[in-house]
């Protein structure tokens, strides 16, 4: 099973037993994605806190 990343259009392989509301990361762009529906699987960007990652 797979779905598309709304951020980068990457293909995301999904486990067969994925749950509604589960958070999965995009392997390409690292976005945190929320499963918002299951049939078909739709992913949306999960709300993120903007990290301060440097100087």
| 11 or 37: CB nearest another protein | 11
Counting contacts by CB under 8 A, is residue 16 touching another protein?
A: no
Cα–Cα distance, 46 to 35 (Å, whole number): 9
Is residue 5 exposed (0-12), middle (13-18) or buried (19+ Cβ within 10 Å)? buried
Counting contacts by CB under 8 A, is residue 34 touching another protein?
A: no
Q: Residue 50 in 3-state DSSP?
A: coil
Counting contacts by CB under 8 A, is residue 36 touching another protein?
A: no
Q: Which residues bind another protein (CB under 8 A)?
A: 7-10, 13, 23-25, 27-32, 48, 51-55
């Amino acid at each position: 099973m797979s779905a598309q990343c709304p951020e980068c259009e990457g293909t995301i392989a999904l486990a067969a037993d994925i749950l509604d509301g589960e958070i999965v990361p995009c392997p390409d762009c690292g976005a945190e994605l929320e499963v918002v529906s299951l049939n078909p699987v739709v992913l949306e960007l999960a709300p993120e806190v903007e990290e301060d990652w440097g100087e």
